[in-house]
Structure 1
């Protein structure tokens, strides 16, 4: 059974994924801390303004799914980990659709009365090929 805080954080993560796939950067911005550090699976690091610009101008998220989410809640912050599968099209690239699989670590911080995402770190996972190496 989840605590109220855990349920709230899982709901905020669902809202984050939905804002990305719906293209609602205003809703997304409300979930993110002004001190955001977002590390893409490529290693590129962006602050809040850079990330929102990337989402609105460069990336079209077609699907976003989370799996195996784990949450460790401490006073004033929480660490969320789990898999992330994203299908997206980068603009203005050639329009190819890309599927990205990553393991994600997120830091959610209580800022005033609101939980906000302060840090996001994605580590790419190899695509399933049947090779166990």
Structure 2
């Protein structure tokens, strides 16, 4: 009987770990989709990944809703040439997730080349099979 219990416990643990890995993989895919959409400026991709209630906070303190976020990127007003993410962590609780990372980007806002180094916190919500960006807050990383 003990043997059956341990086999059941093993299978249950493996199923939970697999499910968590699957959730984490789909969340990481959504983060990559967001990054790619921000670089490409693809309006449809930006609209798809953002939740209708998006609150998008910049390191300057400016906060945008979904419409302003999409328009800023899609119009090229905020132009990301490249984005590199480092030191990423994630935490999933039910249908909500928090992703933190450092973002290093080359920009070309208004035709003026620049670079940004930011700390980012993203809040995601699961809607059906898709993760949607609900909130984002950026802060400037200290210069070394």
What corresponds to 2:87 in structure 1?
A: 68
**Aligned counterparts, 1:21-40, within 5 A:** 21-40=39-58
Distance, in Å, in 2 between the alignment partners of 1:6 and 1:112 is 15
Select 1:50's aligned residue among 38, 58, 68: 68
Structure 2 gap ranges (5+): 1-16
Is the aligned partner of 1:41 residue 2:59? yes
Deviation per CA, 1:75-101, whole angstroms, max 9, x where unpaired? Answer: 11001111111111112xxx2211111
Is the aligned partner of 1:105 residue 2:121? yes
Is the aligned partner of 1:12 residue 2:30? yes
Q: Which has the higher strand share?
A: 1
The structure with more radius of gyration: 2
What corresponds to 1:123 in structure 2?
A: 139
What corresponds to 2:3 in structure 1?
A: none
Structure 1 gap ranges (5+): 129-133
Give the TM-score normalised by the residue count of structure 2: 0.81
- Alpha-carbon RMSD: 1.4
SS in 2 for 1:59: coil
Aligned length: 125
Aligned-residue offset at 1:6: 0.5
Distance, in Å, in 1 between the alignment partners of 2:134 and 2:29 is 16
Aligned-residue offset at 1:19: 1.2
Q: Which shows bigger deviation, 57-66 or 1-10?
A: 1-10
Aligned-residue offset at 1:115: 1.2
Give the TM-score normalised by the residue count of structure 1: 0.88
Distance, in Å, in 1 between the alignment partners of 2:136 and 2:112 is 25
